[in-house]
Amino acid sequence: SRVKEDIVFPEFYHEYGEFDSLEFTQGQFFLDNAHYQRSDQIVCAIDGEVHVALVPHVYRQEMLPGTSTSYHHELKGHEMIVDLDVNESPINLFNPDFEKFPSAAQIEHFYKDVLAPGDCLFIPAFYFFQLAGWAEVLPSQGNLRPSAIAVSLKYRAHSRLLMAFYDAIEDGVLA
């Protein structure tokens, strides 16, 4: 069956949601950085498991977006420094390191869910989120190996006030 036919959108959403883009993520394993996007989205698991972690936008300051972070690179044997984009956080929402990032301990609302194939979750614009997916452990079939697949349907955010607020933050007008 086609995914488009399987997804039912709430009636109220058509009044202010304008389709923007579609994002497709596939792999035997994937894990992105915690980040926010400027669009509302509906994330759907197509195959495998897709784990989702969310933090409301009111905790932006505690998420430390845009700061540099470091990690130990096993193959190179030393610390690597990564500069993050203005909408990315160094905090792993699936396993926050409260010693390294004490501000994360102030976050009162960490939401986590596991999406099975056919499940969808609405993620509001500017919420920090992180996706992790992995395929079921199945034997390869010829050249094909199982994979986790997630699709995100993105819609323009409806709050002009929130967009203007984040424009000011991202442009350095507000701290």
> Rounded to an integer, what distance in angstroms lies between the CA atom of residue 99 and that of residue 66?
19
**38 confidence band (pLDDT: 50, 70, 90):** very high
Token pair of 38 as six digits:
């400027």
The C-alpha angle with vertex 66 and arms to 63 and 70, in degrees rounded to 5, equals: 85
What separation, in Å, do the N-terminal and C-terminal C-alpha atoms of the chain show? 48
> Rounded to an integer, what distance in angstroms lies between the CA atom of residue 158 and that of residue 169?
18
Flag whether the pTM goes above 0.75. Answer: yes
Which tens digits make up the pLDDT trace of 138-175? 566 666 667 889 999 898 877 888 889 889 988 888 86
**54 confidence band (pLDDT: 50, 70, 90):** very high
| Other beta carbons less than 10 A from residue 121's beta carbon | 17
* Three-state SS at 45: strand
The phi, psi pair for 148, rounded to 5°, reads -90, 140
The reported pLDDT for the residue numbered 1 is: 46
* Amino acid at site 145: R
> Rounded to an integer, what distance in angstroms lies between the CA atom of residue 151 and that of residue 162?
25
> In this structure, are residues 53 and 80 in contact, taking their beta carbons and an 8 Å threshold?
no
pLDDT at 60 over 50: yes
